[in-house]
Amino acid sequence: MTAGTTSDLDIARTVADAVLYEGYLLYPYRATSRKNQVRWQFGVLGPPGAADAGVGEESGLATDCLLSGADDAQVTVRLRFLQVQVRTAERADGDGFTPVDQLTVGATSWLTWDEAVEHELLLPTCHLGDLDTEVMLPVEVAGGEDVERLTAEDGSVAGRLVRRRWSLRGEVRLSRSVDSGVSRLRIAVDNVKADVAAGAADLHHEAAVRSSFVGANLLVTAADAAFVSLLEPPPDLAEAAARCRQHRCWPVLAGPPGCTDIVLASPIILYDHPEVAEQSAGELFDSTEIDEILTLRVLTLTDEEKAQARATDPKAAQIIDRCEQMSPQQMQQLHGILRDVDPDPVGDDEVPWWDPAAEASVQPQHDVVMIGDVAVAGGSRVRIHPRRRADAQDLFFAGREARVSSVHFDVDGDTHVAVVLRDDPAADLHDWYGRYLYFAPEELEPLPPESDTDKREEDP
């Protein structure tokens, strides 16, 4: 195999970007929102001592990958992360500047806020054979300060934005061992900023975050080698895959289906060959939300709330602008799509997983299910014995007698029996509204049909 092509790597990078910014800024994308005042993200590598001091996160992550290839096969690691950049808004004040929480110049506002600078560091390529002895690759990221002057309409200086970054220092260690005829590649990443560790006793949360690698993940490519899926390893490598150890990240095959020369080591557990849905118009920093719902919520923000979001972060401004400029056709595209669960076409002699035409033959009021050797259908008497996924509500009905109203079969092949309690004074109303209790057949005990005497005793 050759190293991942640009297109394959770009596909993997779109997912890695989503991981990188997951949780970066949450709806309603304003600094004043409580959920954004205590920010969090996955894959944070804090400075040494921060976790023990209770002011930051662990300093390292590590992953094992399996790959087949000769000693001259090559492995390249790309370390990806965010570096915190503190943006301070300062108002012009005489001959100097005064820090403020918010600065407004004309129609534009800026808040004092922690932004982020995105990094993807391409580390030196290593041959597999050279990794029998651990190789350490140093990582150095410079700090710095940038000043942006803001002028009023008359050309006078109204204020400035001071952006400051703190240096980062880390190391990536690679090693190789042989297991079941393939290489087990070990990659460890550590934040080793010793000057921060030396003052760990006085370390506070803000300082720890500013000296952290945020959202760290790895894109690993191989040349003349193929990675093995740890989620679905071939049978002869299942035990080797089980012996792989992960710490704060998980490796999956990345790129398009069939690509075996790219791995994404992510702090979020993913499936092999993950992808961003083509219907997604852009990043919203919250992949657990539905794009359409979140976009609609953004559009419900007032003009003042949108202005506050734009003042918070340039990426928040991009989200607001993109949602406002979305056409009806683009919005409709977010509404959802039906996908065939079986990509293979159905043959003439095969039955599809669900056939709308067959639905007409389903008659819950008359369908029958066998419980033991007893046929149970609408009108049957049963006793309830909750056990399968029983919750507190179901347990209240243990031992109660009920009448079957209907029998339902779902597309997964499961059976659900709808019942009403015989002694429930609102049983007739439940029947009328169609509000039933549902139990699996194995949770019901068939009872003999009610006699005429039972019916007379039940009637008022």
pLDDT in tens, 249-261: 999 999 999 999 9
Which residues lie below 8 Å from residue 267, measured CB to CB, with a gap of 6+? 19, 42, 43, 61, 215, 216, 217, 248, 249, 250
**Do residues 328 and 375 share a domain?**
no
DSSP-derived 3-state class of residue 376: strand
Domain span at 383: 363-458
pLDDT tens-digit map of 142-162:
999 999 999 999 999 999 999
Q: Does residue 402 share a domain with residue 291? A: no
- Please check whether residues 155 and 29 belong to one and the same domain: yes
Confidence of residue 91 (pLDDT cuts 50, 70, 90): very high
pLDDT at 321: 95
Q: Are 218 and 187 in contact (CB under 8 A)?
A: yes
In this prediction, residue 96 carries a pLDDT of 94
Helix, strand, or coil (residue 285):
coil
Is residue 382, in this structure, part of any structural domain at all? yes
- The reply to whether 268 and 387 lie within a common domain is no
State yes or no: pLDDT of 275 exceeds 60: yes
Q: The domain spanning residue 447 has which CATH number?
A: 2.30.30
Alpha-carbon Rg for the chain in angstroms: 30
Cα dihedral sign, 210-212-216-222: positive
Residue 342 maps to a domain: no
Question: Is there a domain that residue 357 lies in?
Answer: no
- d(CA 314, CA 85) in angstroms, rounded, equals 13
* Angle, alpha carbons 9-12-14 (nearest 5°): 110
Residue that finishes a domain, picked among 313, 333, 353: 333
Same domain assignment for residues 310 and 392: no
Q: Tell me: cis bond preceding 274? Omega within 30 of 0 counts.
A: no
Does residue 207 sit in the same domain as residue 155?
A: yes
Reading the block at residue 356, the tokens are 């709308």
Cα 129 to the chain's mean position, in Å?
Answer: 36
Collapsing DSSP states into helix, strand and coil, what is residue 38? coil
**What is the pLDDT, as a whole number, of residue 315?**
95
Give tens-digit pLDDT for 418-443: 999 999 988 888 888 888 999 999 99
pLDDT digits (tens, 9 = 90+) for 12-50: 999 999 999 999 999 999 999 988 988 889 999 999 999
Q: Residues 373, 314: one domain?
A: no
Alpha-carbon gap, residue 194 to 63, rounded angstroms? 23
Amino acid at 183: S
Determine, yes or no, domain membership for 345: no
Query: Is 358 part of any domain?
Result: no
CA distance 316 to 21: 12
Bridge partners, residue 147, by sequence: 162
Helix, strand or coil, per DSSP, at residue 390: coil
**Are 322 and 380 in a shared domain?**
no
In a domain, 122, yes or no: yes
Tell me the C-alpha to C-alpha distance, in Å, between residue 199 and each of 50, 51, 53, 144, 194.
10, 13, 11, 21, 9
Number of structural domains (the chain) is 2
* Cβ proximity of 316 and 115 under 8 Å: no
Q: What percent of the chain has pLDDT over 90?
A: 69
Residue 401's contacts (CB-CB under 8 Å, 6 or more residues apart) are: 381, 382, 383, 384, 421, 422, 423, 447
- Asked if residue 349 is part of any domain, the answer here is no
C-alpha dist (Å) from residue 25 to 28, 146, 384:
9, 23, 49
Give a three-class secondary structure readout of 64-81.
EEEEEEEEEEEEEEEEEE
pLDDT-based confidence at residue 115 (cuts at 50, 70, 90): very high
Pairing of strands 444-446, 381-384: antiparallel
Q: Mark whether 410 and 329 lie in a shared domain.
A: no
> How far apart (Å, rounded) are the C-alpha atoms in residues 213 and 118?
10
Q: Are residues 266 and 155 in the same domain?
A: yes
pTM of the predicted protein model = 0.73
CA–CA gap between residue 175 and residue 134 (Å, rounded):
5
Give the β-pairing of 214-228 and 250-253: unpaired
Instruction: Show the tokens assigned to 413.
Output: 């092949």
Residue 1 within a domain: no
The answer to whether residues 278 and 321 belong to one domain is yes
Q: How far apart are CA 19 and CA 268, in angstroms?
A: 7
d(CA 167, CA 193): 9
- Does 178 lie in the same domain as 253? yes
The type of residue at 208 is A
